[in-house]
Structures are given as structure tokens and as C-alpha cells.
Structure 1
Amino acid sequence: MGAEVTAREFTRADRRLFRKKVRSCVDAMKQMLDGGDFRDAVDKPAPLLGMEIEFNLVNGDMAPAMSNREVLESIDDAAVFQTELGQFNVEMNVEPGPLTGDATFELEKKLRASLDVADARIHAHDAEMVMIGMLPTLQLEHLDREWITANPRYELLNEQIFTARGEDIELDVEGVALPGSDVEILRADTNSVVPEAACTSMQLHLRVAPEEFAAHWNAAQCLAGVQVALAANSPFLAGKALWHESRIPIFEQATDTRTFELKNQGVRPRVWFGERWIHSVLDLFEENSRYFPALLPDVSDIDPLEVLAVGGVPELSELQMHNGTVYRWNRPVYDCSDGKPHLRIENRVLPAGPTVVDIMANAAFYYGTVRALVNAERPLWSHMSFHAAEENLHIGAKYGLDATLYWPEIGWVGADELVLRRLLPLADEGLADFGLSAAARDRYLGVIEGRCLNRQTGAAWQREHVARAEASGADRSTALTGMLRGYVENMRAGDPVHTWS
């Protein structure tokens, strides 16, 4: 959820000063880009696979376990596991590993081992971690304000969003019917941003040189709709069958500071795909400072331009704080490591799970395909409209592998066919360019191929399981609980989701 805040309340003067400091940070970044300050840090950066994974906590009867504080105390590894917005969430930061040779096998092995250790330590609390995009046993009563994690940043964020909005947040999602059933609709008002915590994701980080940032961001935007169609794992919330990847509409609505009237005026949403292809990373930071008022106007005493003037590297803390409250699906990140600045793209469209090998496969597909698109002789975004890329995101999220997406030179095509015919060879090419071994490419891209051939994502498996249970006479609550129990068993076994029966 971003950096900690030092203030507990904000004044009108804080907001004006924060706006001025964000502008100074943008000016400082422009100077750094023009002056080559990033060059030493990212001249041919080593390719690294970096990820954050969010988990839900459940107890023995598969209900949400509101125990993240106790769980984290038991795990006792603050460098890897942290709190998240909801008391039923924890987040895992995976140490970046090379995208070369067979190194991803070791990364996969370490990830499994970390999860096994964590799970063993938290069983005393009648809790276990579930990698899933949206916990199907979450009900509306679990999304109230009382279930926000006790952390000043989360409490302030909730307060500031509702102050900006001035009224309760409306959730309104029309679902995709289960086989043999009618379309279901979720309509509810909420007094907190906890519905955002229902959206558990895997975030992928890619460090790039400034001159290559725009191409990588544009490529990631092109790919977003395919990613969610291919990895959908969030079909249920509050007992309703919604989209295959319901995280997308729920997250968009859960942090929306706009009233109905502001939407009609065309005010940009804080969860944002964007509105254009970019030419520089500066385009994104300038848009963030221009369009979005501060939610957490926490101001430091450091002048970034003065730091630059004496040859230092500024932290740009106000820019980082503000950037953390604009939820782009592909978010630009400025950071410093070992006293050197760098830029990253944080890819935020993917759900967590279902298994370790599935998330490794999703990561490999993303990194490989983006690399190949960037290396292409003709940029894909030069003959694809930005609106088409955005439309693909929502179509892919709603229908999963049943989606029909737009792709240049092909037209409208099934998501599975697009991946099998066009994108898997590109992903293999891109991963080979990174230096990943043939064995590793075959393992992870083979999972993607199997998912398309079997037409079984995590969402498809969940929906089919619940539909069968209800056809046999189970009510929705029983069907969801039984499905989740089977999901957890399969997750523990570790076989990729396309092989689940």
C-alpha cells in the first residue's frame, strides 16, 4: 500500500504545500532525465523477476480470518511478509531473481519453501494463506470499516477518500451467468475502502532505462487485457457470480473519489488505465500531478532541487507518496537503491494464484511478451488505438478465456487463440532474449499453453465447481465453501490449475 505517513491529520495549507512539492519533484525528475542521472544505475540493467503477492487468510471453515497481526507475529519475517489493507490480508515481497539460465527454478523453489514455512507457523491461529484473486467466502459484512488493518496510513487513506467523495461508495457489477443460471448483479453501498482489500493481486516489477520506459509501458498496456483473460481467478464476491476477474471492476469502484456528477464531467478516476500512449515516463508523473488532488499530503523538509544542485540523489518523497495513491494498472515507480535512482514499471493487473507454478508462468509470459513487443520492428501501439487496449482489459476481465479481444493485423480473436497462435512464440522469443534457458521457458510457457488448450483458468475452475454443486442441490454458501476447500487442497498440491479435475 506504499510508504508510511508521519502526519495524523492534514490542513488546507498542507495540501497547497504538497502540491508545490510534487511539482518540484517532477521538475527534479525532468532535470535528472535530461542530465543523464539515471545512466550509471541502469545502463543495461540485469533482468530481474520481482514480484509482490497478496494473500487472503481463512480459518478452518473457509471463512475469512481477521488475524493478520497475529499471523505476521507467528511468521516473524518482516522483510518478506507485511500487513495489507484488510485484516484478512497479508502481502509477501519476493526477493528479485535473475531471468537468466535456470535461475527461475531456484526462485520457484524458494517461494514454495517460504510459503510452507509461513503456513506451518500460522496454523496455531486457525489460519492459512490462500492465493486467490478474490476470496469467494467474503460477504458484505466483512468489508466494513472495522476490518481495516490498524495502521495510520490505511485509516488516513480511508478517511481521505470518503472526505473527497462526500458519500458512501457504490459497488455495482453485473456478472456473467454460470452455466444454466441467470445473470447475477452485485449492488451495495460501502462505508469503507475495504472492498479494495478483497482484490488480492500479484504485482510484477520491471526495471528499465529511462529511454526505454515508454516502449515498455506501452507494450504492457497492450498486453493487459490478454493477461487478465489468461490468468482470471476472481469470479465470486458476496455470494454473487460476477466477472471472471472481478478484481478489475471492484478495485475501480472501491477507491473512486468521484461522485456521479464528477464522473459525468469527465473527471479521471484514481484507478486508471490512462488515456494515451506515452513518449516518456515524465508523461505519467506529470499527468498524476496535474489531474489528481492529494489524498495523503505528507510533506518533508527536503527540497529535491536543492539536493540535485549539490550533486545528491533526491528521494522525491512527495512524488512517491502521491504516485502511490494513483492506481494505474501499469504504474510508474521512481526509487533509489544504493544511492542510485532507477525507474520501474509495476504491473498490477494480475490476480494472485492459483499455485506457485501458475504465478511463475504468468510472470514469465508477461516478461517475455513485453520484451518481444518492445524489440519488434514496428511497435504494436503504432497501429492499435489506446481505446482498444483499454477495452480489451475490461472484456478480458469479464469473460476470461471466453473473451474476444482486438489485436492489430488479426482483428477480433478469441483470447486463447491469440495466445496460442501469436503471443506464446513472442513470449518464448522475449525470454530467450533475456537469457532464460530452454528448459525454464518450456516449463512456464507450457503451463500457459495447457491453460489455453484446456480452457481452464482459476476462474473457470471455480465457476464450474460451484455450478456442479448447485446442480446437485447445494445452496450458494455451501457450494462456495466446498469449492474453496477443494481449491486450497489443489493449491497445496501445487499442480497447475489447468490440470485440476
Structure 2
Amino acid sequence: MDWSETVSRSRRAATRRAFRRRVEEQARSLRATLKTGEFKGGFRLGLELEGYAVDGDGRLAAAPEAAVSSVCEPELGRHNAEINTPVTGFDAAGVVRQADELTERITAVREAFAARDRRFVTDGIWVIGSSEGAVAYLSATETKCGTEVPANLSPEARYYALDADITADGPVELDLPGCRRAFQSILVESLAASIQVHLQPPTSEYARYFNAALRTVGPVVALAANAPFLPPELYTDADAETVMTAGVELRIPVFESMNVRSPGKVRFPRDIESPTDAVDRIVDDRLCAPHLREWLADAPRGGFEADHWEFLHKQGTCWRWVRPVFGPEGPRIEYRPLAAQPTAADVVGLQLLVAGLIHGAVTTDHPLIGLPWRAARESLYAASRDGFEADLAWVTRDGERTDDPAAVYPDLFALARVGLRDRGLAAARIDSLLDPIERRWTTRTTPATWKRDRVRARLDSGDDLATAVTGMQREYIRRAETGEPFADWIE
């Protein structure tokens, strides 16, 4: 079946009925397995890292198809690529393997790209457009099988189906300080790239870990901020001061632009009371681009994935900033609000900070777990706007409510250390892993503030906004390619 037939079938009422029925049946199976305790559970780690391809001059370019098919995975745009580390135990040996595998895979992708005159960049948002320009790239269409489709969308049926479904009721709109634009496709979301940390706790403790994760998001987003600019061509109001103060993590509103219809699929999730709530959340999520297993020639023939194929497909479009993800060992937490980072050390540092922080909060019964949900949600959006200057909701180990970063971060890093020690990591190893991230706090400098400082210096030297942002980005790419952790860039 070609992609056009897949898109057509996904929009039929009969397909939607069959898909819903199967999701409900598979959900019943999962609930039963959860209630009988058949999932093995246990502590595990994993990671997804997104990036994009540029040419030798730093301009956006298509990722080499041969490389994508051999050393990484495709993502939404033709320029995108994704690296996945294998699932490991959340213990000393597993942490070593996570770091080694990520470093090896980044190196392999960069070498494969370089062999085809491309460079692989891990960053929050690309800001140097392709040779035809950012607006033209995001807006370009072509006719396939008599249908007009986004020319730069990865040519896979699932992406065409998503695009048709999400834009059926209207365009995707960017409404940010200095930028108000409408796009006819979901390709605008490919501006952004992320880290997705996977943490699997024991299934019996899943709800506590999930709810604890929500309370950590604001301060961690402020540490990871790496997306203060859009491609300059996208700004409709080119006032430099407006652009300079638009936010430190624009990836958050860029991804939420996918909320064309209500209820929005990209949002901060509510607490859960049990693992079965996680199943219900996926079942109840608004249906988007349904797909049936038999449409795939290479669909799995047996095992967990085959038995729950439609449910797993539906969970793939349940886009929450923290979301439940089911696999053969049980449910895990996918922590999604973090922008991609410059180097492997930065990525691993954030992965272990998140895992240690969540585990530390639960294993010590830290008062942070009692932070009101609304305060945690507001902290995320405050962090995306103002970074370290935001009111970051927190509860200290003494039970005191605070929004002062000077009180938040010492407690946050101490709690992460407790969590990592409890999983068997030695103190020296913990310090080496967290150091690249902790120095962001001690120097009050994140990749986003570094980018702003560089652009500000160029503006003060007489550059216009487009030249300043482009010059900053080329410096970012050069420094990231050295592999030196971001903290070592700070002068």
C-alpha cells in the first residue's frame, strides 16, 4: 500500500471505528496485566536525541538518506535525524553504557553525514534556513499522486497522515513575540529538536514517580534552555529588543503550535493515581491519524508490540510534556520538555540529573512531591520565558515553599545526588556526570543565555539582527563539534 492510500484509509470512518475498538481491547489487556502484577518493571534508562543536518556553511540541509537508514532514525522533516540509546539498567553499569552508547552513536552519525558533505547538529531550534530561505522551506509543497503535500516532510505515510489530520481544521500558527505566522502544514514543528529521557521505575511505584517528575520540570527546563531565537526570516516584527526578550526556550510554544484543535494534544499533564490511569489517558486522548497493523508489510508478527499495536500507535500521538509510554516490561516515563543540547556530556548530564532527581524525590519522600500541580505547571512556562530569572516553584527538604532559584538549585542538585547514590553510583562518578550541568547554575549561564549574549555583542558592534543570529549560530555549531561540554565554552 502506498502512502496516499494509507492517508486516505486513515481518514475513513470505518478505520476509526476499527482502530478505537482495537485500542479499547488492547487497553483492557494492559489493565489486566497491571492488576495481576505480570509486568517485570524494575529500574531502567533510555534516551532519544534529535538533531538536524546542515551544509558546510551551517545552512539547513536534507539529512543523507543512506546515513538515516543505517546509523539513525528519520524524524518529521527531511533535515531531521534521531539517535536512540539502548535500554539499560538504572545502575552504575547501565549509566556507563548510556554514556558510551550515546557518544559512539553521535560520532557515527557525524561521520556518516560528513561523508556526504553534511554536518549533524544537536540544538534546540535551527535558525539558519536552507538556501531557499526558512519561510520557503517550511511552506514548500509538491504534488504526489494528485495530492499537494509538504515538500520537505519526511516521505513516510505516518507523517503525511499526521499532517492531513492535524491541519484539517486550519493552519498551524506561530504566535510568539515578534512572530505571527500561519503555516499550512505541521512541518513548522520541525524547527525544534529535543532530548527525551526515559525512566522506568517499578510498576507498583509508577504513579508516584510520574507525579514527582511533573514537579521537577520547571527548574530543569531553565537549566536546559537552548532555544531563544527563531530563524530571523520568520520574525514579522523585526524589533531587536522584542526578539531578544521573547523567551529562552521557544521550543515549548513551537511544539504547542500543533494544538490546532481543542483539546490540545501538547500540554502539561495531570497527576495520575495508578498505572491504569496511564492506560486510560492514552485511550481517552483525541484520536489522530489512526493506523491499522495489517497496513504494514513488515508489521510485527508476535510479542508485545504485535498484541498491542494500535494502542502503541495511539500513545505515539499522546504528546504531553511528560507522558506514559508502555513496553513489554511495563510503563515508563518519557520526559519531553528538554531541548537538544550541544554535546554528549551535556545530554548525559541532563539525563542523569532528571533520573536522579525523580528517584531521589520518591525514595526520600521529599516534600517536593506535595507541590500543587498548578504551581508545577506554571513553573514550566515561567522557565521557558525567563530561565533562571523565573519564579521556579519548589519545596525544600525542610518543607518550605520557595520560588527563589538560589534556594531551589542547591536542593535540586543535592536531591539528584541522593537518587544516583541510591542506584549505586560512586560520588566521584556522580560529580563528573553532573558537573557540566551544575556549572550552568553556578555561572548563571545556559546555552540560551550564551546565545543571547553573543547576539547582543554582535548587535552592539553594528550587525543587523539576521547577521547577528546567523553569526552566533555558526559559532555554536563550531564549538559543539569539538565535543567540549557547554560549561567549558563560558569565558
- The alpha carbon displacement at 1:301 in A equals 7.1
> For the structure 1 residues 416 and 172, does the alpha-carbon distance in structure 2 shift closer, same or farther, using more than 3 Å as the test?
farther
Which residue of structure 2 aligns with residue 396 of structure 1?
383
Query: How far, CA to CA, are the matches of 2:55 and 2:407 in structure 1?
Result: 39
Matched letter for residue 356 of structure 2: G
Which residue of structure 2 aligns with residue 281 of structure 1?
275
Which residue of structure 2 aligns with residue 54 of structure 1?
50
Matched letter for residue 267 of structure 2: W
TM-score, structure 2 length as denominator? 0.86
Matches within 5 A, 1:186-201: 186-201=179-194
* SS at 2:425 equivalent: coil
> For the structure 1 residues 226 and 473, does the alpha-carbon distance in structure 2 shift closer, same or farther, using more than 3 Å as the test?
same
1:7 aligns with 2:6: yes
1:474 aligns with 2:463: yes
Q: Deviations over 1:90-149 (max 9, x none)?
A: 001112344433663454344333323332232243210111111122433332222101
1:446 aligns with 2:435: yes
TM-score, structure 1 length as denominator? 0.85
- The alpha carbon displacement at 1:419 in A equals 1.3
Query: How far, CA to CA, are the matches of 1:214 and 1:93 in structure 2?
Result: 25
Which residue of structure 2 aligns with residue 137 of structure 1?
128
| 8 Å contact from structure 1 (residues 331, 347) kept in 2 | yes
> For the structure 1 residues 25 and 237, does the alpha-carbon distance in structure 2 shift closer, same or farther, using more than 3 Å as the test?
same
1:457 aligns with 2:452: no
| 8 Å contact from structure 1 (residues 132, 353) kept in 2 | yes
Query: How far, CA to CA, are the matches of 1:322 and 1:448 in structure 2?
Result: 34
Which residue of structure 1 aligns with residue 62 of structure 2?
66
* SS at 2:92 equivalent: coil
Identity in percent: 30
Which residue of structure 2 aligns with residue 352 of structure 1?
340
Matched letter for residue 480 of structure 2: M
Q: Deviations over 1:377-408 (max 9, x none)?
A: 35533x32111111111111111222221223
| 8 Å contact from structure 1 (residues 358, 447) kept in 2 | yes
Matched letter for residue 159 of structure 2: Y
Which residue of structure 1 aligns with residue 147 of structure 2?
none
Matched letter for residue 123 of structure 1: A
| 8 Å contact from structure 1 (residues 428, 441) kept in 2 | yes
1:290 aligns with 2:294: no
- The alpha carbon displacement at 1:5 in A equals 12
- The alpha carbon displacement at 1:87 in A equals 1.0
Which residue of structure 2 aligns with residue 256 of structure 1?
259
- The alpha carbon displacement at 1:291 in A equals 4.3
Which residue of structure 1 aligns with residue 409 of structure 2?
419
> For the structure 1 residues 189 and 344, does the alpha-carbon distance in structure 2 shift closer, same or farther, using more than 3 Å as the test?
same
Q: Deviations over 1:223-252 (max 9, x none)?
A: 111111110011111315332111111101
| 8 Å contact from structure 1 (residues 5, 298) kept in 2 | no
- The alpha carbon displacement at 1:314 in A equals 6.7
- The alpha carbon displacement at 1:172 in A equals 0.3
| 8 Å contact from structure 1 (residues 5, 153) kept in 2 | no
> For the structure 1 residues 378 and 6, does the alpha-carbon distance in structure 2 shift closer, same or farther, using more than 3 Å as the test?
farther
Which residue of structure 1 aligns with residue 364 of structure 2?
376
Matched letter for residue 383 of structure 2: G
* SS at 1:61 equivalent: coil
Matched letter for residue 165 of structure 2: Q
Greater shift in the superposed pair: 127-136 or 4-13: 4-13
- The alpha carbon displacement at 1:426 in A equals 0.5
Query: How far, CA to CA, are the matches of 2:34 and 2:176 in structure 1?
Result: 42
> For the structure 1 residues 432 and 322, does the alpha-carbon distance in structure 2 shift closer, same or farther, using more than 3 Å as the test?
same
> For the structure 1 residues 446 and 30, does the alpha-carbon distance in structure 2 shift closer, same or farther, using more than 3 Å as the test?
same
User: How many residue pairs are counted as aligned between the two chains?
Assistant: 451
> For the structure 1 residues 103 and 319, does the alpha-carbon distance in structure 2 shift closer, same or farther, using more than 3 Å as the test?
closer
Aligned partner (choices 146, 151, 159) of residue 156 of structure 2: 151
> For the structure 1 residues 415 and 146, does the alpha-carbon distance in structure 2 shift closer, same or farther, using more than 3 Å as the test?
farther
1:327 aligns with 2:319: yes
Query: How far, CA to CA, are the matches of 1:22 and 1:214 in structure 2?
Result: 22
Matched letter for residue 37 of structure 1: E
> For the structure 1 residues 415 and 132, does the alpha-carbon distance in structure 2 shift closer, same or farther, using more than 3 Å as the test?
farther
Which residue of structure 1 aligns with residue 145 of structure 2?
none
> For the structure 1 residues 313 and 84, does the alpha-carbon distance in structure 2 shift closer, same or farther, using more than 3 Å as the test?
closer
* SS at 1:345 equivalent: strand
- The alpha carbon displacement at 1:486 in A equals 1.2
- The alpha carbon displacement at 1:56 in A equals 1.4
* SS at 1:396 equivalent: helix
Query: How far, CA to CA, are the matches of 1:110 and 1:68 in structure 2?
Result: 22
Q: Which runs of 5+ in 1 are unaligned?
A: 175-184, 259-266, 303-310
Matched letter for residue 210 of structure 2: W
* SS at 1:405 equivalent: coil
Query: How far, CA to CA, are the matches of 1:350 and 1:28 in structure 2?
Result: 32
Query: How far, CA to CA, are the matches of 1:6 and 1:388 in structure 2?
Result: 46
> For the structure 1 residues 476 and 386, does the alpha-carbon distance in structure 2 shift closer, same or farther, using more than 3 Å as the test?
same
Query: How far, CA to CA, are the matches of 1:101 and 1:493 in structure 2?
Result: 27
> For the structure 1 residues 142 and 399, does the alpha-carbon distance in structure 2 shift closer, same or farther, using more than 3 Å as the test?
farther
Matches within 5 A, 1:88-127: 88-101=79-92, 104-105=95-96, 107-127=98-118
Which residue of structure 2 aligns with residue 225 of structure 1?
218
> For the structure 1 residues 103 and 215, does the alpha-carbon distance in structure 2 shift closer, same or farther, using more than 3 Å as the test?
closer
Q: Which runs of 5+ in 2 are unaligned?
A: 140-149, 236-242, 296-302
Matched letter for residue 481 of structure 1: T
| 8 Å contact from structure 1 (residues 244, 398) kept in 2 | yes
Question: Which 4+ residue blocks in structure 1 deviate beyond 6 angstroms?
Answer: 311-314
Considering only aligned residues, what root-mean-square deviation do their CA atoms show, in Å? Answer: 2.4
- The alpha carbon displacement at 1:6 in A equals 9.2
* SS at 1:206 equivalent: strand
Matched letter for residue 66 of structure 1: A
| 8 Å contact from structure 1 (residues 102, 437) kept in 2 | no
1:24 aligns with 2:20: no
Which residue of structure 2 aligns with residue 270 of structure 1?
265
Matched letter for residue 426 of structure 1: L
Greater shift in the superposed pair: 398-407 or 230-239: 398-407
